Amino acid sequence: MSNASRLACGAMLIAMLSACKDEALLKSLDQVQANEVIATLQRNNIAAEKRDHGKSGYSITISKVDLPAAVDLLKTYQLPSPPRMEIARMFPGDSLVSSPRAEKARLYSAIEQRLEQSLQVLEGVVNARVHVSYDIDAGENGRTPRPVHPSALVSYEPESDPSLLIGDVKRFLKTASPRWPTSIFQSSSPASRCRSSYRRCVSRPPRRHRLTAGGWGALAPVWPCCYQPDYGGEKSGPRPCPRAR
C-alpha cells in the first residue's frame, strides 16, 4: 500500500472515530437556551460544544460517553427552559390601535425585566425572575386602584448565606419600589432527593424559600450530591461529591 493510500485510510479512520465520539444532545435552541445548557454541563464537568446553524438555531454536541449523565442533568434542571413570554411582544408598540391596557402591560413588563437584570447583579445570585401583579382595570369607571405586588424567584449559589441574600433582595425591592407593600413572609420545605442515578456529580433539586415583598418569591440553591448506580451490590444513594481533579 502506498503512502498516499495509508494517509487516506488514516484520515477516514479519524473521521469515523470522531463521528462516533460526538453525539448531538439538543438541536434548534435559541441562544439563551443554548448558553444555559452549556453552562450547566460545564459546571458538572461535561465537555460540550455549541454550534450555530443560522436560522435553524443552535445545537449542543457532547461525547457519547457523557450522554446518560447529560440527560439526567437536563431532567434535574428542567432544561432547555421554555422560551420566555414577553408581554411587549403580545402588545407591540407599533400596532395601529394601542389601548391603555396594552400600554400598562408593556410598562410593567419592562419593569419586571429591569428588576430581573438588577437582581442578577447581586453577589451569589445565579438567576432571577420577577413578576408584578397589578390591577389592569385600575382607574377605569372611577375604580380605586389596588396595590401592586412584586414577586421574585431567585436561584443562588450553595455557598451563599440565604438569610443575608433575603435581606439584600428585600432591601432592593423596597428601594426599587417604595410605593409597593414590603411585608416579608418566609417559609421553607425540605429538599427532595437527587434524581440522577449516574456516577457523576450532579445537583439536587432546589430547596425553596418563599419570600414576599407584597407578593411571593423563592430562593433556590443548588446542593451538590452524587449517586452511584446499583449493580447488585451496595444500594445506590447520595454520596459526597468527589473533588474535581
pLDDT at 161: 85
Name the class of domain 22-83: alpha beta
- Domains of the chain, by residue range, sit at 22-83, 112-239
Euclidean distance between CA atoms 53 and 27, whole angstroms: 9
For residue 110, the surrounding DSSP H or E stretch is helix 100-119
Q: What's residue 204's pLDDT?
A: 42
The CATH class given to the 112-239 domain equals alpha beta
Place of cell 418566609: 186
Cβ burial of 242 (10 Å; 0-12, 13-18, 19+) is: exposed
Cβ neighbours of residue 205 closer than 8 Å, sequence gap 6 or more? 76, 191, 192, 194, 195
The C-alpha cell 460540550 sits at 48
The stretches in the chain having pLDDT less than 50 are 183-218, 220-245
Residues paired with 225 in a beta bridge: 202
Three cell numbers at 205?
A: 433539586
**Please, is 197 exposed, middle or buried when counting C-beta atoms within 10 Å of its C-beta (0-12, 13-18, 19+)?**
middle
Mean pLDDT estimate for the chain: 69
- Looking at residue 88, its pLDDT comes to 61
In order of 87, 105, 169, 190, 225, the CA distances from 210 in angstroms are 25, 26, 12, 13, 23
Residue 12, classed as helix, strand or coil, is helix
